[in-house]
Structure 1
Amino acid sequence: MADDDVALPPPRWGQRRSNFVPRRRFASRKWSGPGPDKRDPQPLGRLLGQTMRRNGWQTNLAHAGVFARWAQIVGSDIADHCRPESLKDGELVVVAESTAWATQLRLFHKQIYAKLTAELGRGVVTRLRIQGPTQPGRVNGPRRVRFNISRDTF
Structure 2
Amino acid sequence: MSPQRAGRSRGTEDNEAQRVYLRFRRVFGDASTRGRDARRRIARSGAPSQPFGSGRDPKGIADVILGVTTELGWNSSLAQSDLMTAWPAMVGDELSQHSIPVGVEDGTLTVQCDSTAWATQLRLMRSQVTTAIISTYPEAGIESMRFLGPNAPTWKRGPRSVPGRGPRDTYG
TM-score band, normalised by shorter chain: 0.5 to 0.7
- Could you tell me which residue of structure 1 aligns to residue 59 of structure 2? 42
In 2, distance between residues paired with 1:68 and 1:40? 35
> Which of residues 30, 36, 47 is equivalent to 2:50?
30
- Could you tell me which residue of structure 2 aligns to residue 128 of structure 1? 145
> Which of residues 95, 100, 103 is equivalent to 1:78?
95
- Could you tell me which residue of structure 2 aligns to residue 10 of structure 1? none
- Tell me the alpha carbon deviations over residues 7-38 of structure 1, each in whole angstroms, 9 at most, x when there is no partner: xxxxxxxxxxxxxxxxxxxx8233537xxx53
Q: What one-letter code is carried by the residue in structure 2 that aligns with 1:39?
A: R
Q: In the comparison of the two structures, how many residue pairs are matched?
A: 115
- Could you tell me which residue of structure 1 aligns to residue 167 of structure 2? 144
In 1, distance between residues paired with 2:92 and 2:56? 43
Distance 1:32 1:95, change over 3 A: same
Q: For structure 1, which segment, 39-48 or 114-123, has the greater mean C-alpha deviation from structure 2 after superposition?
A: 114-123
- Tell me the alpha carbon deviations over residues 106-153 of structure 1, each in whole angstroms, 9 at most, x when there is no partner: 1110001011111101661111111111132257xxx7239xxxxxxx
**Where do 5+ consecutive residues of structure 2 fail to align?**
1-46, 157-165
Give the CA RMSD over aligned residues: 2.5
Residue 100 of structure 2: SS of its match in structure 1? strand
Identity value in percent: 29
Residue 80 of structure 1: SS of its match in structure 2? helix
Deviation at 1:60, TM superposition (A): 1.1
Distance 1:123 1:111, change over 3 A: same
What TM-score do you get using the length of structure 1 for normalisation? 0.66
In 2, distance between residues paired with 1:100 and 1:73? 19
In 1, distance between residues paired with 2:64 and 2:139? 24
- Could you tell me which residue of structure 2 aligns to residue 106 of structure 1? 123
Distance 1:64 1:122, change over 3 A: closer
Distance 1:40 1:122, change over 3 A: closer
- Tell me the alpha carbon deviations over residues 47-97 of structure 1, each in whole angstroms, 9 at most, x when there is no partner: 000000111111111121121211122222211110111201101111111
